Chains A and B, each alone.
Chain A
């Protein structure tokens, strides 16, 4: 099993005392599978994604990724895992503004020491980014920026791709194109894909879906 999540609880300090965002969530995902995480705003779906990505730590419960229990990792260990095992695509601000498109695409792979220029060029080409490689992120449209983010994630050949509303800022037509490309490439690479979305239409494109409500699997 690529990913096992068991009884995850996450509590944030809110204005009126602690708020339990996640209250014992469990799920499984295997390589090559795609899973949509849906739910209302505040249902805890983004938080769950962040915990799986090692970006934050749960208050209770266990996450095992590629056979490694995240709870046993320190800050550096989680950073190493973010570099090599998972790739995250956010809704916005994915890119490093000071680097060119080409450098952004290669960045994570190079950090992980797994850079494959041929694969990077192939990805850029298939994402339609060929003419933009020397540009800086701020010179690209929103759809182009998200394509760069996806290309960068896939370039490092992660075992698990996490996407948090990756097309949330895009219009419907562009969103469909971008997501289609991502699904195609993820499937091709044999990685698992976990995507947070509130769109029924996009969720329907995924293999499975899990609906969260008030921090619980509905």
Chain B
């Protein structure tokens, strides 16, 4: 019995291979989108985090010098006093960020992954040394004499070597940049300040600026991954709905022939599971292709994710495949639940009721409206009162689901208005008929809404992020050259030498002092046009730089302002007995600690012991290479102590560009998937449409005209949905930037608008709708009259 029944069920697919294709393709696409986003996210995370993880940044506390570098003797003194610290020297060599580590003392086995996999320890620690980096970074280091070992797991532009090799290559013998503090320390240690005064202990997760920025970026990408999945589920729902609708007669016949309903349901569930697994496998493979195509240069890492021989990621492989398949099967189950429920409730001899669907949808309208309203109201309350990460994500969920539920109702109101305003009889019919189509198309339209909103939201987020970050880099890296001198003597020699050769020398002076009871850093600012021209404030008093120059105020970063609850005009105690009003608050993206800026004379009065050893130099860009050469040749400054800001900016921006490319490609993919959902829905509806269209045809409208209207209808709905998606997408971006980001990282990213991007996205959405509607419309225009006449015929 089972075999016969299964054969009867499966025979349907033989007769309609196209439907089988759409079902499988729909499922596979949803899975692929999910897997692809996951893969890209994981890869991007791995590549951004590799350097930070290798250095223990974020994982471990670090000891930083108050200025300049740490003498190696201080490191030894700390070890001899029982402080378990490990030395790091970091510098730039031929444009590559070279990081020297001591794998012997580094906590947690930090070091190049490949070295730990059976590399030549002896070669790493002694002789000419070894350098681990990605192949293109190694190319720039070929003249070092060290053994070069390609390591795809390292961040782009970053190289890792032994501390001794780094000191030799960077010309900084006996110098260290920072010390990593092991998480477990022995008892009975002497206080740090007794052994190494002036050192700052930076707490774990206070990593580099870029690390913090990318963290927030990944959080947002993860949100994007979930949205993509939601869009995918809509297709699966459409495909399964179609399959069930068309096989009702078979089911009816099988049951009439004595097949128990439970058995039949089981068989169909088995059949669907089989399809889901098949589609899931295709989808995971497709996801790999998507990810690999989008990020060709990281295919190697992806191979690791998919189960090749990178030891740290080996465990991911089964998880990866399983999660993809689970998504496919789980998604199918969710999407099929309704269909099975209908199947179970279907009376044995029920005739196919093409209009029942629409009518049922109408009855559910009130509940849907209430649910949508409730969710949107909840989102509003959360937006006004909620705080914290959970509230941020809850707000996101409530907003998106509420909007998806509200969409058909909103569209219905818009279409009703259109109908009322329409003059001609055809126009009135067109609006009315479009309204009637809504229930059947609402799932696909909700998919389009979410896809479009996700794209608007993510585009806005990503572009705002880029704009902010570029602006931030422009501000903090405004000087053409940055020079670090080893000590006071070198600083004096440097000043004497360089001052006549440049437009301006801007000393960089900093102390770490708690402000308002919070860890913070205080900077000195020389009154110079460099700052006046480049700084932008979130809030500031008029003529803020003039006020600052008089020493009558202090600038603070957003983090300090938020945490200490400081607003413009509030007094902030800078040092005992000295309190100054806050005159400006600036965005300081990615900095975990508070910051305050004083004018240089005041800073020197308050902190007379701090002498500048780091300097920013202003000079024409064209003169930068010449001056760099002079500084190294005449003053003997090691290249690692001279930093060209254009190189840093280029490096930082390069890291982001890749992610932007990926985002654009994902935009198009999600819209394609939404278009697919529309196509599925239109095909599902096509059979149900004939009884609605046949009278119009019989009354004197040509089939070609009907096809054109069908097309126009899809476009109209897509346009309306896209228009509604725009505010939703912007709201999404706002939640991501202003709520989720603040909750997770303590600073807000400003929201910028990109109308041209939205127009282009709208164009893509329209194109997707047109492509989806084209085939059903052509099919309608070519329907044989006999098929239309059957609607009316007595023998039906």
Is A in direct contact with B (CB under 8 Å) within the complex? Answer: yes
Surface stretch bound by B, among A84-92, A180-188, A201-209? A84-92
Give the chain A neighbours of B426 by CB distance below 8 A.
Answer: 111
Partner of A80, one of B696, B700, B788: B700
**Is B296 interfacial (CB-CB < 8 Å)?**
no
Give the docked Cα–Cα distance between A82 and B743 (Å): 67
Surface stretch bound by A, among B40-48, B247-255, B627-635, B701-709? B701-709
Please encode chain A, from 170 to 187, with 1 for each CB lying within 8 Å of some chain B CB and 0 for all others. 000000000000000000
Give the chain B neighbours of A164 by CB distance below 8 A.
Answer: 792, 794
Give the chain A neighbours of B695 by CB distance below 8 A.
Answer: 93-96
State whether B700 touches A98 (Cβ < 8 A). no
B537 to chain A, nearest CB (A): 58
Give the docked Cα–Cα distance between A88 and B789 (Å): 12
A196 to chain B, nearest CB (A): 9
Please encode chain B, from 417 to 441, with 1 for each CB lying within 8 Å of some chain A CB and 0 for all others. 0000000111011001101100000
Give the docked Cα–Cα distance between A111 and B424 (Å): 9
Query: Nearest residue in A to B792 (C-beta to C-beta)?
Result: A90
State whether B786 touches A56 (Cβ < 8 A). yes
* Contact (A46, B794) CB under 8 Å given A56-B789, A96-B429, A107-B425: yes
Query: Interface of chain B, helix or strand or loop or mixed?
Result: helix
**Is A25 interfacial (CB-CB < 8 Å)?**
no
State whether A96 touches B433 (Cβ < 8 A). yes
Give the chain A neighbours of B360 by CB distance below 8 A.
Answer: none
State whether A41 touches B425 (Cβ < 8 A). no
Give the docked Cα–Cα distance between A92 and B795 (Å): 11
A125 to chain B, nearest CB (A): 21
B794 to chain A, nearest CB (A): 5
Query: Nearest residue in A to B791 (C-beta to C-beta)?
Result: A93
Give the chain B neighbours of A168 by CB distance below 8 A.
Answer: 794
Give the docked Cα–Cα distance between A83 and B704 (Å): 16
Give the docked Cα–Cα distance between A168 and B795 (Å): 11
* Contact (A83, B700) CB under 8 Å given A98-B432, A98-B436, A107-B425: yes
**Is B692 interfacial (CB-CB < 8 Å)?**
yes
**Is A119 interfacial (CB-CB < 8 Å)?**
no
**Is A99 interfacial (CB-CB < 8 Å)?**
yes
**Is A108 interfacial (CB-CB < 8 Å)?**
yes
Give the chain B neighbours of A46 by CB distance below 8 A.
Answer: 793-794
Give the chain B neighbours of A165 by CB distance below 8 A.
Answer: 794
Give the docked Cα–Cα distance between A79 and B698 (Å): 8
Query: Nearest residue in B to A86 (C-beta to C-beta)?
Result: B700
**Is B691 interfacial (CB-CB < 8 Å)?**
yes
**Is B7 interfacial (CB-CB < 8 Å)?**
no
Query: Nearest residue in B to A94 (C-beta to C-beta)?
Result: B695
Give the docked Cα–Cα distance between A110 and B697 (Å): 14
Give the chain B neighbours of A107 by CB distance below 8 A.
Answer: 425, 429, 699
**Is A20 interfacial (CB-CB < 8 Å)?**
no
Give the docked Cα–Cα distance between A93 and B698 (Å): 11
**Is B359 interfacial (CB-CB < 8 Å)?**
yes
Partner of A92, one of B359, B702, B785, B792: B792
* Contact (A76, B702) CB under 8 Å given A98-B436, A99-B428, A111-B425: yes
B429 to chain A, nearest CB (A): 6
State whether A108 touches B699 (Cβ < 8 A). yes
State whether B429 touches A99 (Cβ < 8 A). yes
Give the chain B neighbours of A41 by CB distance below 8 A.
Answer: 794-795
A83 to chain B, nearest CB (A): 3
Give the chain A neighbours of B691 by CB distance below 8 A.
Answer: 93, 97
Give the chain B neighbours of A97 by CB distance below 8 A.
Answer: 355, 436, 691-692
Partner of B792, one of A82, A84, A93: A93
State whether A112 touches B428 (Cβ < 8 A). no
* Contact (A96, B696) CB under 8 Å given A75-B703, A91-B794, A138-B359: yes
Give the docked Cα–Cα distance between A53 and B700 (Å): 10
Query: Nearest residue in A to B702 (C-beta to C-beta)?
Result: A79
For window 60-89 of A, CB contacts with B under 8 Å fall at: 75-76, 79-84, 88
B122 to chain A, nearest CB (A): 83
B765 to chain A, nearest CB (A): 25
* Contact (A55, B698) CB under 8 Å given A50-B789, A138-B359: yes
Give the chain B neighbours of A50 by CB distance below 8 A.
Answer: 785, 789
Give the chain A neighbours of B796 by CB distance below 8 A.
Answer: 92
Give the docked Cα–Cα distance between A68 and B676 (Å): 46
**Is A2 interfacial (CB-CB < 8 Å)?**
no
State whether B700 touches A111 (Cβ < 8 A). yes
Partner of B692, one of A57, A96, A152: A96
**Is A151 interfacial (CB-CB < 8 Å)?**
no
Give the docked Cα–Cα distance between A62 and B355 (Å): 39
Give the chain B neighbours of A115 by CB distance below 8 A.
Answer: 425
Give the chain B neighbours of A53 by CB distance below 8 A.
Answer: 698
Give the docked Cα–Cα distance between A81 and B697 (Å): 12
Please encode chain A, from 158 to 171, with 1 for each CB lying within 8 Å of some chain B CB and 0 for all others. 00000011001000
Partner of B785, one of A56, A94, A98, A138: A56
Partner of A98, one of B692, B699, B791: B692
Partner of B702, one of A56, A75, A110: A75
State whether B696 touches A112 (Cβ < 8 A). no
Partner of A82, one of B435, B694, B699, B704: B699
State whether B698 touches A99 (Cβ < 8 A). no
State whether B786 touches A90 (Cβ < 8 A). no
Give the docked Cα–Cα distance between A126 and B796 (Å): 31
Give the docked Cα–Cα distance between A94 and B697 (Å): 11
Give the chain B neighbours of A83 by CB distance below 8 A.
Answer: 699-700
B301 to chain A, nearest CB (A): 55
**Is A106 interfacial (CB-CB < 8 Å)?**
yes
Give the chain A neighbours of B705 by CB distance below 8 A.
Answer: 79
Point out which of B426, B436, B705, B789 has the most chain A C-beta atoms below 10 A from its C-beta.
B789
Give the chain A neighbours of B436 by CB distance below 8 A.
Answer: 97-98
State whether B433 touches A98 (Cβ < 8 A). yes
A81 to chain B, nearest CB (A): 8
Give the docked Cα–Cα distance between A53 and B428 (Å): 25
For window 773-796 of B, CB contacts with A under 8 Å fall at: 785-786, 788-789, 791-796
Give the chain B neighbours of A82 by CB distance below 8 A.
Answer: 698-700
Give the docked Cα–Cα distance between A91 and B698 (Å): 13
Give the chain B neighbours of A93 by CB distance below 8 A.
Answer: 691, 694-695, 791-792
State whether A91 touches B425 (Cβ < 8 A). no
Give the chain A neighbours of B697 by CB distance below 8 A.
Answer: 79
**Is A31 interfacial (CB-CB < 8 Å)?**
no
Query: Nearest residue in B to A108 (C-beta to C-beta)?
Result: B699
Point out which of B435, B701, B702, B705 has the most chain A C-beta atoms below 10 A from its C-beta.
B702
Query: Nearest residue in A to B432 (C-beta to C-beta)?
Result: A98
State whether A79 touches B701 (Cβ < 8 A). yes
B734 to chain A, nearest CB (A): 38
**Is A103 interfacial (CB-CB < 8 Å)?**
yes
A146 to chain B, nearest CB (A): 12
State whether B692 touches A12 (Cβ < 8 A). no
State whether A90 touches B428 (Cβ < 8 A). no
Give the chain A neighbours of B696 by CB distance below 8 A.
Answer: 96
Give the chain A neighbours of B786 by CB distance below 8 A.
Answer: 12, 56
B422 to chain A, nearest CB (A): 11
- List the interface of chain B (C-beta within 8 A of A): 355, 359, 424-426, 428-429, 432-433, 435-436, 691-692, 694-705, 785-786, 788-789, 791-796
Q: Nearest 3 CB-CB pairs, A to B?
A: A83-B700, A110-B425, A90-B792
19 CB-based A-B contacts, threshold 8 Å: A41-B794, A46-B793, A46-B794, A56-B786, A57-B785, A76-B704, A79-B702, A81-B700, A91-B793, A93-B691, A96-B432, A96-B695, A96-B696, A97-B355, A103-B428, A107-B429, A111-B699, A115-B425, A168-B794
